[in-house]
Every structure is written in C-alpha cells, then in structure tokens.
Structure 1
Amino acid sequence: MARPGRSMRAVMRMLAGGSLLAANLAFAAAPPPVAGDAARPVADPPGAQHFAGITPATSSAPSWPEQPRAPKGAPNVLLILTDDIGFGATSTFGGPVPTPTFDALAKEGLRYTQFNTTAICSPTRAALLTGRNPHAVGMGHVENTSAGYEGYDSVIPKSSAFISRILRQGGYATAAFGKWHLTPQWEQSQAGPYDRWPLGQGFENFYGFLASDNSQWNPTLTQDNSFIDVATPPGYHFDADMADHAIRWIAERKANAPDKPFFAYYAPGTAHTPSHAPREWLDRFKGRFDKGWDALREEIFARQKALGVIPAGTVLTARPKELPAWSSLSADQRRLYARYMEAWAASIAYMDSQIGRVIQSLKDSGQYDNTLIIYIQGDNGSSAEGGMDGLLFQQSLLNNHAEQRAYALSRIDDIGGPDLYPLFPAGWGWATAAPFKYYKQIASYFGGTRNGMVMSWPKGIADKGGIRGQYHFVTDIMPTILEATGVARPASVDGVEQRPLDGVSMAYSFTAPDAPSHRRMQVYEMVDSRGIYLDGWFASMRPTRQPWTFDKPADPDKTPWELYDVRADFSQAHDLAARYPDRLRTMQQLFWAEAGRNHILPILEPTILPTGRPSLGAGRTGFRYPQGITRIPEDSAPHIIGRSYSVSTTIDVAGAPNGVLVAQGGRFGGWALYFRDGRLTYHQNALDPRQYRVVSDRAIGPGRHSVEMLFEADSHARGAGGTVSFTIDGQPAGQGHVPLTLGGWISHIEGLDVGVDTGTPVSDEYRSHDSAFNGRFDALEMKLID
C-alpha cells in the first residue's frame, strides 16, 4: 500500500525506469501513516501483490534485442555503375578516354569482357539491384515512359527486395550516391509515398537525384527523403561533391563502427547528357578527336586486340548505313562534332578521377584490401540520341525542336560549360561501342548491351590483372555480392515471399578463368529490338527505328532476324541465319517463351504521354500554392502543355515589386512569371535561342495589388504558342504573343517554384539566388481553362 510521500504512481515510474532496487527502497523508507489513515481501510492498488518479494537477486538477467551482424570477415562492397559508356570508350578496354582509376582496379583484379546490361538506364539499374530480369520487376523501359502493363509499369514489387535491403538486414551499413531513376513518376513529389525512393529500398542514406540526368554545375538534388538546396560556388561540380559525400559517409561509419562493413552504391550520371567538365579538363582533349569517328574506331580496335580484351580473330563491324562517313562531312561539321566528343571525354576522365578519390580514401583508412569493388562502366552502350548533328540541349530532342547548326557553331566554346546541356552526335556513340554494332537503345546487338566491367578484391581475388570471358548479365551481380559477403538471401522480406533470383553468381570465375559460363541463357527487349542468348549463340531482330527519332517501329512480324555464333564471332559480324534456319527458329520460339515468363508481353512502344498513368496533377483544373513552396515535379504541377491557363494572386509590397511569383523549369527550358522594376513579366524559355518575353504596359509601386496573367493557347497542339494578357488591380495591363512553347516536357530535372526560382533561372533577367519575391502575396492560384 502506497503511503504519503511515496505515491504508488512514483513507484510505478521507478519500476518502468528499470530500478527494482529503488522501488524496494521506496517502500521501506516510506513514513508511517498519519492519524485517520488507520481508521480508513485502503485496498492494495491493482498489481501491488506482484511487488512483494521482488529483489535484484530474484529478477531475471537483462537482455537486449539482438543486433544484426555481418558474417565475420565479410568485405565492404563498393558497387560503381556509370552511365551511357560503351565497351570501347575507356582506356581499360582500349578506348580513347584515359581512366587511370579503372585501369588500376583492372590491374589489381579482373576484367570481364562478356558482361552485359540492358539497352537503357532504368531497366539495367532495376536488374542490378534486384537480381531479377527488368520486365519481371516492372521496369521494361525507363520510368519516365512507364505504361499500364506488368512488365512496364515501373512499380518494382516488394517480392523483389533490393540487395541494399538484404545486406542491411545482414548487418551492413548502406548508402546510395548519384543517379537513381527507379521511382515511378507519380511518386517523386514531396507527397510521397517514399517506398520506392532509395531509403524505402533499404538504403540508410542517399545523396543524389531521382531523375534520369542532371546538370553537373547546378544539380537538383535529394538527400534522403528531401529535396535540398545546394551551394554551387565557382568551381563546383557534382562529381566532386558526390565523392566528398561518399568519402565522408565511409569515414563516419569506420569511426563509429569499425567492425561493421558497408555497402555503397555509387552511380555517377556523368556520361549521360549533359557533358559537363571543368575547363582545365576540357583543354586536355582539344584536338584529340579531329580525325573523326571512323579513324577513332580503328584505333580502338587495334588497342583492344593488343590488350587482349577481344579475341585475336575478332572482326571490326561496319558502320551502320544511317551514319555518315567522317570524310563526307564539311569542315564546320567536323569542328563542331569533335568539340562535342572532347566535352564527353573530359567529363568521363574527370569522373574517373573523383572515383579515384573515393578509392584512395579506402586505402588511406586501411579498408581497401577487404573491399569488393565492382566497377561497371556504363548501364548500356554509348548514346546515339544526339542524332546526326549532336545537340546543345538534350531537351531539344524531348520537345522535338530542331537545332540550327549555325547557332550551334556560334556556341561551340560553351560546349562543356554550365549554360548548355549537350549530347554528342550518334557517330561517336557508334565509335565508342567498338568492335560492336549499334549503340544505346538497341538491345539485339552488343553495341547496346556490352559494357566493360572490373572486379577488384585484394583479399578475395588472387589473379591480379586477369581477364575473364564468361558470358554474364547484370542480374548476376546481386548473387555474386551475396556469395562474397556470406549474407543469405531470405525467403521473405517484411513478410513478403520473395521471387527467385534470375541472376547467377560470378564468384566461381574468381579462381576459374577458363570455366564454362554459369549463365546459359538471357532474353533482351527494347521497343523494336529483341534478342536472345543461348549457350554461345545469339539471335537478333534487326532494329527498325533509330534512337534519335520518334518514328513508329516497323511491323515486328515482318522484321528479319539474324543469327550469330558468338563463341567464334565475338562482335556479331557474320550472320548465320540462312545457314541455320532451324536453330534460328528454335531461338525465336525461346524468345517468345521467355517473353511470356518475364512479363515482356505485350511488347509496347514507350511514350512520354502514357494513357491513364497515375498522376497527382492530371485531371485537376485548380491549384492553390502558398508562397515558398518549391520543387513540385512536373507530374504533380498543373499540366499546362496544350492548354490555356491563368495565374493570379494578391501581392503586398513595401517598394517596387521585384522577384518571381512562379517559375517552372530553368535554364534548360521552362516559363516564369515575375516582376522586374515593378513590371509584371512573362518569360517562355523554349531553349536557346527561342526566348520569348511579354512585359506589362505599366509598372506598379508599393501597396497591395491584385495581379493576373492569362495564357490563351493558339490551339491544343503540344508546343503551341499563345497570347499572354496581364490584369493589374482589375484593369488590363498589356498583352503579347508567344509563338512557341515546350511541347514534350517542360523540365524533367527542375520543378515548379512559388515565390522564388530555385536551381537555374528560367530568365536571364534574374539569378536564382536573388530571385525571391521581395514582398508577400496571398496563395497563388493557377487554373486550367480548357
């Protein structure tokens, strides 16, 4: 029975705090009852009988929840995946771009010459991190072009847990850096859900970007589950920033838990457009590509033979008929095209140097010897999406805007710098895929799917500088990591039964250079290119569409297939379809069987305008935003393409109004409504040199004012122009016509901002860091009118 001075509640608190001794002493030291207490019987409180006789001697021993521990001696894992770099691009595999970090790892470990990916970004990343074929986990194409079929919906199921989640449950620290490109479009806003962001897939930390690409000079970044502002002082480059974050993360884990291994997924987006490199690195490559892509390809081929990364009898495949000979180009074309290649090469060389800093940090901290480093050079072949001329802006392709060569030549010195978003001509994509046919997006030939790969692990791989020729696919990395770490793959994760892996471990190759490949078969599909590998043979459907066009693919049932014996024909140079029609027919039948098993059917033509896709913005006509809301992704923002719309608010300002009311996109395409010296201004950035501005006919001063902008589209056609009209305090305030708008994506990297323009500025009349509106305004309203 509790007594005055020691309430039962206080004793219960002591017990809850874990102090049994203190609770017993509290009872013993309680003062005697005051007068009157004895005359009033008081029942023991509920549970009081359980306190009797409890002492430290009779209590059970304390215990704690068991913490996951990695197997003793398990290695760290650094998984590096670069972007859009073909087999013949880097010095490690005979290419023209010096990559000393990649070279050094190859000398310490193993080079794999028959390692394969898918033909485009997101599917490779999904296959790498889940160990399953990409269509089998819903990622048959990039997440930007998802469609409402199981193999293409971009929703990776919980039955295919990422390697990061399994290793984390197995006692590893986990982090991802750089490019993600695996979250469905409609889940990329601040509204979540976050299940398919990096942290939802088992990473404890993330520093990078969700989209397909990013400016290296002014990136749009995410840290963990939040969009963040990043200071970009002179000299800033995301590759260096990313390396800094990875080095710090590794050091912090080592300092706090030295016995806990880490898994770091390091995925630069560098070689994917845009080609951005520091000036001193650009200068290193000046004049290096003046000989052109035909001569470059011959040089790569010769070095590959000398290095032993291709068999001596390999044939260099011919240039596709769609590409011009370098000798047929004008002097201006050669000068422009060479500059594009210089910027691309410089960006890769700089990226490799920053990866080198991360690896040096492992050596300096004594972790290098027991770190399994898997360095995959490219998530597909080099890109041909720049077409014949290359592009100053990748966004020109996405918006079907033709770029004029004369204008490109006038900006030649800016290529590689912060004001452009360049992509090199298709000829370089073909050249750097040597000795293979084709390039990115072509899944039926190795030019689209064969990538150089190195594994280094001083404590686990004894054959330093070895070359391995076993045929493998990107799904094989996950089981290799699990075997090397000793972490078992669970039958279920978070209560969800797991789908079997499609990958096979490559660890056998560490000690068996001549062993037959443990992978016997693999299916490939990308839009109109289909292929299948079986026991050293490859059946390939000829592509009917080129990556730089939006042409509708030809009828696949009428498109011929080719057949290659890649045991003897490394580069797919000799078509044997006419000689072995029965074998080809058997392999075609196997393709369709595998297509059914892996959710490849129905085979789709991807589109950036999928019908009925989930969306936070589609179907809405009214939007209300408070001042200061930023980075609303395009899917969540008003869908204004091909529509008339209005923007209105009421401002309150102490002086002449200045600054942004609303902006969507940035330097690489977008629109903005802002004040400059008291005048309301609309700016449509339809990519240089297409800049259109409408300014109100009068300025306004201090006070409270209602303002409205009306955009009346000329038609419902995507990219149509329109008339911009202003109303201030209920009175007309001028109008003007904009001949052209963006008709594909307004911006796939920068969102919609209210009251400021983050990232890069839409207009050159202001800078992002001083773009904030200098007063206050009521919530801004946007309405779609038709």
Structure 2
Amino acid sequence: MYRSALPPSGPIARAQSFASSVLGLALTLALSFASPADAQALEVLPRPAAPFAGKIAPRGDAATPAFPQAAKAPAGAPNIVVVLLDDVGFSASSTFGGLAKTPTLQRLADQGISYNQFHVTALCAPTRAALLTGRNAHQAGFGQVATAGYPGYNSVWQKDTVGVAEVLRQNGYGTAAFGKWHNTPAWEVTPAGPFERWPTSLGFEFFYGFHGGAENQYEPRIWRNTLAVEPDRTAAQGYHLIADMAEQAQGWLRTQDAVYPDKPFFLWFAPGGTHWPQHAPSDWIAKCKGQFDVGWDKLREQNFARQQKLGVIPKDAVLTARPPELPAWDSLSADQQRLLAREAEVAAAFLAFTDHQVGRVLDEIKALGRADNTLVFFIAGDNGAAIDNPLTGRDAQDAQGRPRTLEERLKLIDQLGSNAFDNNYGAGWGWADNTPFQYGKGQPAYLGGIRNPMVVSWPARIQAKGEIRRQFGHAIDIAPTIYEVTGIKFPDVVEGIAQVPLAGQSLAYSFARADAAAPQRVQYFEINGTRGIYQDGWFAGVRHVRKQPGALWSQEPFGDRAWELYNLNTDYSQARNLAAEQPALVKALEALFDQEAQRNEVYPLQPGGEGRPNPSAGRQSFSYRAGVQRIPSGNAPQVAQRAHRISAELQLDGKRSNDGVIIANGGRWGGYSLYVQDGRLHYAANAHGHASGHLVSAAALPAGKVSVAFEFTPDVAQPVANAVAGQGRLFVNGQLAGAGAISKIAVQTYESQDIGADLGSPVTSDYATPFRFGGQIERVQIELR
C-alpha cells in the first residue's frame, strides 16, 4: 500500500521521533567507523569527515598536505529548476486553453512533456511545503495558511522533515530561492529573526523574495537572505517585483557559473503571479483589451474547446456546469460586465508578464550553455484560481472596507493593475480559469482546487516532444523525482535526526513513455475542513462551507455537504457524481480518508488559532531606537482597537529641515504615521485607502531637544471590533498641541512598521516615501493601555 511504511503520527510519534533522533546520532557516530558496505545501508547527512588523505611526518619536507574535499554531486547530475506560479487556474494559460499568452510555458511543453493530472493541495503554503519536503503538508506542519497549535498546523518546519534544498546542498549543489516564501512561522519573520526556519537555514544558500501570502508588486517588502532591502526603482520608474526577481536570479546564475562552472544548481523560482494583488504593467494590460467581453460562461466554453483541440484534456471530457452560487454572465448589468472584463484583462496580463519573467531566467541558463542538462518543472499554480472573492472583485473600497459604488469604481477602472489598488478579480473569473473543473482555490473536494498543469523539460534526457502525460501526480512527488534523477539518496538521518519517510514517489518512470503504468496510489486532500480522498482513480470528497465575509461561496447552510463520488478513470473533469449509486464505496473511501488523516496529523479539522505566538504578545510597552525598520505589521504593536500612546524624543536642528516620518505602520490601504512636515507635527491615519484622521500641531516644533506624542482614546469603553473610532491628541513638550477625531485605524497586513521613514507604500498622500526624518530620533515608545 502506498506509504505503508509511514510511522505513526501525533504526540506519541514526536516522542518516538526524539528517541529515533538519539538513535540517529549514535548511528552517525557509528558510521564513522563502519565499513563501506555498512555505510551504504544508511544514508546520513552531514557525512562523516573523510580520513586525512595526506601524510603526517615530524618534518615538513616529509609530510604531504591534503585539504578536506567539498561534497560533489554525482557525475552528470542535472541542474534543477522548479517554477511555481500562484493562484493560476488549469485553463488560465494559453498553453492549456486560456487567453493569457504564455510562450515560455509553451516552449517548455513543446520540447518536453505536460502532465494533465498533476495535483496540489488547494492552498499555497501547504503546496509549497509538500513540494519542498516530499511529505504531505500536514506532516510538515502546514495544513493550512493560518497557523494553529497542533502538529499538523503549527507552521514549524521540524528537523525530521528535511527539505530537498538541504539534501542537494549537502550533495554538492548550489541552491537559491527567489520569490514568495510562505513557510516560515509568521511570528519569526522579523529583522531580528530567529532565522532557523528561513530559506537560508533550510538549504538555500541565497534567498531573494518576500515572506507571507501576498505582496505589493510595486512597493514590496523584500528580503535578501535575512536582511530587508528596498527596491532600487519606483513604480513610476518601471519597477515590478517579479521583474526584479528575474534580474536577481539572472545575476545569481551568472555568479554561480563564473565561480563554479561545473557545479550543478537548484533554483526555486516562485513569483507571486497571479496572487492578489493582481498588479501588471499598463502596456501588458493593453494587449488584453476586449478579450474577456464575452463573459465567464462563454469563456469556459471557448477554453474547453481549445483544451480539447490542444489535447491537454481528453476528447471525452465533460465541461462541468456553472455552480448555483454564481450568476450567469448575461444576468449582470452592462456596468458590472465592463468592470469585470477589465479585471480579467489585468489578471491575464499579470500571468503573461509573469511567464515572460520566467522566460528571462531560462534564457539566462541557455546563454550560459547549461540548458541541455537542466531539468525544469514548471507548475502553473500552487492551487486553482481564486474563487474566494466578491462577485465583482475587489479594488476601490470605502472607509469601512466595503466595495465603493459601481459608479465610483468605474471612474477608476483605468487604474486597475497599478499601485493605486490591491485589486483582485471577481469570483466568476476564477471559476472560468479552472475550466473544465468545478470550484477552485481552497476547495480540495473538487479538481478546480487541486489539479494544476505541470510541464517538465530536460533536453538531455527527455526525448518526447510535446507529449501529454496522464499519470496521477502530486506535489509530494517532485522531491522523490529529483532524488532519483540526480542519483542522490534520500537521507535516513540528518544532523542526528531520524527522518520522516518520503510520502511521494518519483515520476521519472513516466518521462520516457506516455503509456507507462502508474503505481497504485492513495492520496488525501484537506483544507479548512473540506476533504478529498483518491484511490487508484476513484475520488470521494466532501465540501465544508464556512463563514467567509464577502466570499461568494460562503452561503448558508454552513457545515458539511454530502460526500460525493467520482470515477476519474472515466470522468476526467469530475462531472458525474456517483455517490447515490455506490454508497458502500463512499463509506469505504470516507474511512480511508480517516485512516490517512490519522496517519498524517490532519486532525483536528479547522483548528482555531488561539494562542498563536507573536513577539508583541503580552507586552504593553515597546521601545525603539532610530533605524529600527521593516518589522512586519502583524508583529508590531496592535494599536487599532485600544487606547494607546506613541511618544518620541527628538533632536531638531534649527538650521535645516527636520521634516520626515518619526514612525509609520502600514501603507496606502491602511495604516498610521506620526511625522513632521513644514516644521509641524502631524498624525495621519487611513483605513482601506481613505483618510480616517489627520491632526496637525498648532505651532511649528522648536529647535533642540523636543518630546512629541500622540494619544488615542476609543469612543467606547470596551471596543469589540477590529478597529474603532476615537479621539486623537498631539502633544509637544507635554503641552496639548492639536486634537481631533479618528474614525478608524486599520493597518494593511503586508506592510511594515518603520522608525525614521515610511517604507513600502505611503500611509498618506501628503508625502512621498520613504520621507526619511531630517532630525535625530533618540527613542520612540508605544504604550498600550
């Protein structure tokens, strides 16, 4: 049975793991003295030092020096590139039937093979954990995005779950990761670390990208290794994060090739396209104008026809029906259709632009003469396209975070895709992008959430050109495939820790032959209580409906729907529910899911996030010196719904401007800033892109040593909302200097708290970032009351 050797899980298993770790350490020491035959029986990393190869003698002229040799990859081992896109539906790309032009993906498909039954987990962080470790997401602690205090959900990457990057690094590979990294516990993402679970401590020698699920593509938070860095250009100067990542990857490849031309590399390239915010350059958006005026119903039909013509789906596949939650395109008003069509143009442009940047990276490998022996896995989506959006998408919001009127939104339609909004397209487009399947992201009971295209190219070894592979594959299979093709044995023990066995199995058997027999498989799926179980072509799933404010699919009654059953051997698109015909098989598969869930630490379903660690938790007082910056907003003091005081000790020079930001947290779509402008003290707050408060001191600040402060008092004694109205007051040297109402303080999640500047996007349009402070900051303090 598939993965039958997996050890038991849960608290008992962790105790057993500790015992195994001790055993592993003993084995590591023992292997130092083992014979070659014994050493082959157990793979241990790091390997014991080789015996000294030189000669020791009392006199130097009689001795022979020899340096320890660095690990070398097996002869002929290929370079490995894994490209992972974000929130891309099965049919979004032109390579798989969609309208977004993807010539890079097409080039790889033409020179390699395409998998049309490759599966992911239905959500980003879990899929990434599965890809990087070769274990199921819950085994790695990433059962969902929001962390919870249970082994399958705590987001703490354990040492008994070594990743492929670390194994390759210790076997002579150069390793680097670019783009989205969503596998470090959120509370450990700070400029002060800890860095134990950052990419550079998990096998990647170089990292350039961002932490978390979403990022502003024009004004991002970027990390180079463990240091925060700022973009070298502005959006007005043509900056875009994915293009920046491509340039950084090109630079790393050139350096790697210059210093170690014979050393293979492992490059992980995971741009944020096309995850919200869907940011794309205006000239790329213009290329898509008018292409989506037909609406999502017709687009599904057209995509489906193209898919069959391309051969990326079987001829007998069935186009699944529009779900009851989604209205027909023709039922929408002309103004709604106009807005929605523009949203789809932006999303398609974002995908095309992302594909182009991937092409730049691959072109660099070709220019270096290393393309022939480079194995590329291009996975077009870590889950299906997003459907957890409002019907008409998200862009301009009112001060309470609700969509502005359709008339107001249409006036701003040309700004979609720019840094004016953190926009995302409507749920119907996500459904259309998932053609021919049902539903999408976050719903692993349906193929729309878990089946994504994968293209594999390896010119030196894969002779098939443009062929389709229909064998079942899963994200957990990529690491085992890499181990097989590189000739690197998966380690039993790493740093004295016995390893959880691989959950996946190599797909290399399918490289040469389209008709290669697939091994028997069992694979479970689970996200937020929605479940699926696959066994040798049969698939059973149950959808769990939960309350999600604003999400189209969140409709009563809440809770589990009935289990459904599909025979994927004869029903490619999961169109015919056979549960009523075979109730016994449904029950058997439901029991099989429970068995797999017990083994893989899936329970409890939908765990709460109570008690989640945070460096600011339990503290009432915070002190910062000048230059403390890029503390993620989620790890900074949470001031939005409570009384608080922000104070600063400044030294101002009367001979020059002292303007600039003292402290800022958040950005264009929510945050606050205490700053000096034209010599006066200001406090500005914005909520969802709307000014929600602005106080100005009555007089200019004096020169010399100055104490300034802002105090906020909520209008209600015990606030219950996430953010509340209240009264703000400014103080200069202890004297009241200004006062006014603050309607709301709502900090944007993917921004940061900065002392002496406002990094990222600006909290207020009154200044341009970074608006660095011109005086001296001795100390800034925040007191929660």
Tell me the amino acid that sits aligned with residue 736 of structure 2: P
Report deviation, 1:318.
0.8
Matched, 1:81 2:80: no
Conserved? CA contact 1:618–1:639, under 8 Å: no
Contact 1:657–1:701 (8 Å) recurs in 2: no
| TM superposition shift of 1:136 | 1.0
Corresponding residue for 2:649?
650
Q: Partner of 2:340: helix, strand, or coil?
A: helix
- Matching residue of 1:227: 228
Q: Residue type of the partner of 1:153? A: N
Task: Give 3-state SS (helix, strand or coil) of 2:149's partner.
Answer: coil
Contact 2:680 2:700 in 1 (8 A): yes
Contact 1:504 1:518 in 2 (8 A): no
Change beyond 3 A, Cα 1:416–1:647: same
Deviates more, 1:545-554 or 1:75-84: 545-554
Aligned partner (choices 589, 592, 595) of residue 590 of structure 1: 592
1:434 match = 435
Q: Normalised by the size of structure 2, how large is the TM-score?
A: 0.89
1:324 to 323, 327, 341: 327
Matches within 5 A, 1:433-512: 433-512=434-513
Structure 1 distance, partners of 2:745, 2:136, is 39
Distance apart, 1:405 and its partner CA: 2.7
Which among 579, 582, 589 is matched to residue 580 of structure 1? 582
Change over 3 Å in CA distance of 1:489–1:295 after alignment to 2: same
**CA-based RMSD:** 1.9
Compute the displacement of 1:58 (Å): 3.8
Greater shift in the superposed pair: 450-459 or 514-523: 514-523
Change (3 A) 1:400 1:159: farther
* Alpha-carbon offset, residue 574 of structure 1: 0.6
User: Does the 8 A contact of 1:661 with 1:773 survive in 2?
Assistant: yes
SS of the residue aligned with 2:545? coil
The equivalent residue for 2:51 is: none
Residue in 1 aligned with 2:353? 350
Structure 1: state its 5+ residue gaps.
Answer: 1-51
Amino acid paired to 1:458 = P
For structure 2, which runs of at least 5 residues remain unmatched after alignment?
Answer: 1-55
**Corresponding residue number in structure 2 for 1:724:** 728
Q: Contact 1:528–1:553 (CA<8 Å) still a contact in 2?
A: no
Is the partner of 1:779 in helix, strand or coil? strand
* Matched residue, 1:217: 218
Equivalent in the alignment of 2:384: 381
Q: What amino acid maps onto 2:232 in structure 1?
A: A
Residues of 2 paired with 1:313 and 1:414: CA distance? 42
1:775 aligns to 2:775 (yes or no): yes
CA offsets 1:271-321 (integer angstroms, 9 cap, x no match): 001111112111101111111111111000000111111111111111111
The 3-state SS of whatever aligns with 2:274 is: coil
Q: Deviations over 1:483-519 (max 9, x none)?
A: 1111111111122111100011000001121123225
- On the 8 A contact 1:385/1:548 being kept in 2, the answer is no
Alignment check: 8 A CA contact 2:94 2:102 kept: yes
State the 1:605 CA deviation.
Answer: 4.9
User: Could you tell me how far apart the structure 2 residues matched to 1:104 and 1:426 are?
Assistant: 30
Rg bigger for which structure? 1
Measure, in 2, the Cα distance between the counterparts of 1:146 and 1:554.
26
Structure 2 residue corresponding to 1:71, chosen from 66, 70, 74 = 74
- For these two proteins, the number of residue pairs brought into alignment is 721
- Does 2:628 correspond to 1:638? no
Partner Cα distance (1:516, 1:540) in 2: 25
Task: Give the Å deviation of 1:680.
Answer: 1.8
CA displacement, residues 230-280 of structure 1 (integer Å, 9 cap, x when unaligned)? 212401112221111111111111111111000000001020011111121
Write the letter of the residue equivalent to 2:527.
Answer: M
Alignment of 1:332-347 (within 5 A): 332-347=335-350
TM-score normalised by length of structure 1: 0.89
Measure how far apart 1:400 and its partner are: 5.6
Q: 1:665: Cα distance to partner?
A: 1.1
Q: Which residue of 2 aligns with 1:628?
A: 627
* Number of the residue aligned with 1:564: 566
Contact kept? 2:90, 2:96, Cα under 8 Å: yes
**Residue type matched to 2:97 in 1?**
G
584-593 or 643-652: which moved more?
643-652
In 2: Cα distance, 1:552 partner to 1:293 partner: 21
How many Å separate the matches in 1 of 2:168 and 2:675?
49
Report if the CA contact (8 A) 1:532-1:539 is conserved. yes
Distance 1:700 1:302, change over 3 A: same
Shift of 1:407: 2.8
Q: Distance in 1 between matches of 2:107 and 2:661?
A: 50
- One-letter amino acid of the structure 1 residue matched with residue 141 of structure 2: G
What are the Cα deviations for residues 160-200 of structure 1, in whole angstroms up to 9, with x where unaligned? 11100000011100000000011001110122111110001
Deviation per residue, 1:124-153 (Å, 9 max, x gap): 0000000000011110011xx100011110
1:129 aligns with 2:132: yes
* C-alpha contact (below 8 Å) 1:755/1:772 kept by paired residues: yes
Change in 2 beyond 3 A, CA 1:403/1:487: farther
State the AA in 2 paired with 1:260.
K
Identity over aligned residues, as a percent?
44
Deviation at residue 324 of structure 1 after TM alignment: 1.3
Aligned to 1:266: 269
* 1:368 alignment partner, SS class: coil
Do 1:667 and 1:763's aligned partners in 2 also have CA atoms closer than 8 Å?
yes
CA distance in 1, matches of 2:423, 2:584: 46
1:648 corresponds to which letter in structure 2? S
Letter in 2 for 1:777: I
Which one is further off, 327-336 or 715-724? Answer: 715-724
